[in-house]
């Protein structure tokens, strides 16, 4: 403060005390915390009450000093009249603040009372300190006999207020720690409950998993029985024959592609230069890209029309080629091979369809059903294994979290108790 008081320096002798150690059950922690908090509350109220009672006489002294100062003329008649005005005004400000701002301290019988005392004393010190700070020269020069009294009085009051505030802050820390402990206890209970729930889920999941594995073994056995039968062997032979026959398609496609590649350039130019209907444009595009797909009896006439139009385009010069005669000859050659190609394609698809029908007749519907069920069951097994692992991971996390919470509880207990508690899991 500007007026000149501050905290008294006190020498404190610290005596090292060996903390008492005690093992307690986790279930007993809540009661211990409650008892400790009540004890700290009682001690806090008692200590603040003592400080309040030692501060109350100082309040009375402060009021008496105000009364004496009010009656004291300070011999202002003997000083310069301009200075006298300043002294009188300063004196009046000090007296007004003491009369209005210095009030009796509230009695202390609870924490709430103690907090009100802290606030009240802080307001008194602030108001008096501010006015004395502003009028420090007036008091020290013209009311010197009151200055030391005020300084000593306010110095003790300020120290008492600081002690009260510190005691209340310590109690708030205790309360905060006790709340944290209770929250940690609640969290541990929730985690324990979750662990029981997850453990049961693992049991249920593993039981279902075991049943699923047994079902898989049964399905596998039934599938193996079917696959060892003569009918299935015939099916495999037929399937192999069909796969082998599919190579014929490649041979036919290569032969057809080889022929149409000869006229691919004029076909391509005709495609961009001509105006065709939708059907013809589709056929022309496939003749350029993959003629195998359009060589059917229904498309024979449109294909010939397209080829003849290309021939006319070459003759008229609208479609340019390097060797007109050679290209015309290749178009003729292509037209002459159309029937053979179409027959080859038809024969291939007829044979392929017949072999596919034969393969379908040999396919076991029961095997298809079993294999489908095996796939679904295998996927279900994988899901159950993953679920079990997930539950176990959550339990492992809980098993890590609970000891950490217990350790936090032990530290919090140590912060407001002389006893070093070791919390045992129950």
377-392: average pLDDT: 96
pLDDT at 9 over 80: no
Q: Output the CA–CA distances (angstroms, integers) from residue 104 to 67, 121, 356, in the order listed.
A: 16, 9, 109
Closest CA to 118 of 55, 175, 173, 60: 55
Of 68 and 355, the structure prediction assigns the larger pLDDT to: 355
- Looking at the structure, tell me whether residues 161 and 240 fall in a common domain: no
* C-alpha torsion sign, points 194, 196, 199, 204: negative
**One domain, residues 167 and 80:** yes
Helix (H, G, I), strand (E, B) or coil at 12: coil
Do 51 and 171 have their domain in common? yes
Whether the pLDDT of residue 407 is over 50: the answer is: yes
Residue 65 binned pLDDT confidence (cut-offs 50, 70, 90)? confident
129 domain-assigned: yes
Would you call 115 helix, strand, or coil by DSSP? Answer: helix
Tens-digit pLDDT profile for residues 237-264: 998 999 898 889 999 999 999 999 998 8
Residues 165 and 262 in one domain: no
Non-local (6+) Cβ contacts of 202 within 8 A are 388, 391, 392, 395
- Count up the domains in the chain and report the number: 2
Q: Residue 69 has what pLDDT?
A: 78
Give a yes or no: residue 412 inside a domain: no
- CB within 8 A of 386, min separation 6: which ones? none
Mean pLDDT (whole number) for 88-102:
84
User: How much is the average pLDDT of 67-74?
Assistant: 78
49 and 178 housed in the same domain: yes
Q: In this structure, are 104 and 236 located in the same domain?
A: no
Which of 363, 390, 417 is the C-terminal boundary of a domain? 363
Determine the average pLDDT of the residues in 367-379: 94
274 within domain boundaries: yes
35 and 128 share a domain?
A: yes
Any domain includes 302: yes
Quote the pLDDT of residue 15. Answer: 47
pLDDT digits (tens, 9 = 90+) for 323-350: 899 999 999 999 999 999 999 999 999 9
Helix (H) or strand (E) holding 181: helix 144-227
Please check whether residue 260 is in contact with residue 291, taking contact to mean a CB–CB distance below 8 angstroms. yes
Residue 277: give the domain boundaries: 229-363
240, 178: one domain: no
Return the closest-CA partner of residue 263 out of 299, 311, 295: 311
- End residue of a domain, out of 312, 334, 363: 363
Question: If you average pLDDT over every residue of the chain, what do you get?
Answer: 87
**116 within a domain of the structure (yes/no):** yes
Answer with the one of 307, 334, 363 that is the final residue of a domain. Answer: 363
Torsion sign across C-alpha atoms 285, 287, 293, 296: positive
pLDDT reported for residue 16: 52
Same domain, 171 and 239: no
Position 158 scores a pLDDT of 93
Least confident of 77-86, 151-160, 220-229, 232-241: 77-86
Shared domain for 59 and 181, answered yes or no, is: yes
At residue 19's C-alpha, the angle toward residues 14 and 21, to 5°, is 175
pLDDT tier, 219 (very low <50, low <70, confident <90, very high otherwise) = very high
Q: How far apart are CA 387 and CA 403, in angstroms?
A: 25
pLDDT band at 292 (very low <50, low <70, confident <90, very high): very high
**46, 157: one domain:** yes
Q: Is the pLDDT of residue 103 over 50?
A: yes
Q: Identify whether 137 is part of a domain.
A: yes
Q: Is residue 161, in this structure, part of any structural domain at all?
A: yes
Confidence of residue 396 (pLDDT cuts 50, 70, 90): very high
Residues 133 and 233 in one domain: no
b vs e for 123-133, b when ≥16 Cβ sit within 10 Å of the residue's Cβ?
ebbeebbbbbe
Let me know: does 420 contact 20? Beta carbons within 8 Å.
yes
């Amino acid at each position: 403060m500007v007026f000149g008081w501050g905290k008294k320096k006190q020498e404190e002798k610290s005596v090292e005390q060996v903390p008492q150690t005690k093992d307690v059950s986790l279930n007993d922690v809540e009661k211990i915390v409650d008892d400790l908090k009540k004890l700290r509350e009682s001690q806090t109220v008692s200590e603040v009450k003592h400080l309040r009672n030692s501060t109350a006489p100082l309040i009375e002294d402060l009021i008496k000093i105000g009364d004496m100062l009010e009656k004291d003329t300070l011999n202002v008649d003997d000083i310069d009249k301009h200075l006298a005005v300043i002294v009188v005004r300063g004196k009046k400000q000090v007296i007004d603040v003491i009369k209005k701002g210095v009030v009796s301290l509230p009695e202390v019988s609870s924490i709430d009372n103690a907090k009100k005392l802290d606030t009240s004393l802080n307001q008194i010190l602030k108001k008096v300190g501010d006015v004395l700070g502003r009028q420090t020269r007036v008091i020290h020069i013209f009311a010197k006999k009151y200055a030391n009294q005020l300084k000593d009085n306010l110095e003790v009051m300020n120290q008492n207020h600081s002690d009260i505030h510190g005691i209340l802050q310590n109690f708030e820390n205790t309360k905060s720690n006790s709340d944290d402990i209770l929250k940690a206890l609640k969290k541990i209970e929730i985690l324990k409950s979750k662990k029981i729930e997850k453990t049961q889920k693992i049991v249920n999941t593993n039981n279902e998993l075991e049943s699923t594995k047994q079902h898989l073994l049964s399905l596998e056995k039934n599938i193996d029985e079917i696959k060892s039968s003569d009918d299935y062997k015939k099916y495999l032979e037929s399937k192999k024959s069909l796969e082998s026959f599919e190579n014929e398609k490649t041979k036919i496609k290569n032969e057809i592609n080889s022929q149409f590649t000869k006229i691919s350039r004029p076909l391509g130019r005709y495609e961009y230069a001509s105006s065709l209907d939708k059907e013809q444009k589709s056929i022309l595009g496939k003749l350029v890209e993959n003629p195998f797909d359009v060589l059917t009896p229904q498309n024979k006439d449109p294909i010939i029309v397209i080829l003849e139009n290309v021939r006319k385009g070459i003759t008229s010069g609208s479609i340019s080629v390097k060797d007109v005669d050679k290209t015309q000859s290749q178009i003729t050659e292509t037209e002459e091979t159309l029937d053979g190609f179409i027959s080859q394609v038809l024969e291939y698809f007829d044979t392929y369809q017949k072999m596919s029908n034969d393969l379908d007749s040999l396919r076991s519907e029961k095997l298809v059903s079993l294999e489908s069920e095996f796939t679904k069951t295998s996927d279900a097994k994988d899901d159950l294994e993953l679920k079990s692992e997930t539950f176990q991971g959550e339990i492992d996390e809980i098993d890590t979290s609970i000891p950490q919470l217990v350790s936090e509880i032990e530290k919090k207990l140590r912060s407001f108790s002389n006893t070093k508690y070791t919390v045992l899991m129950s």
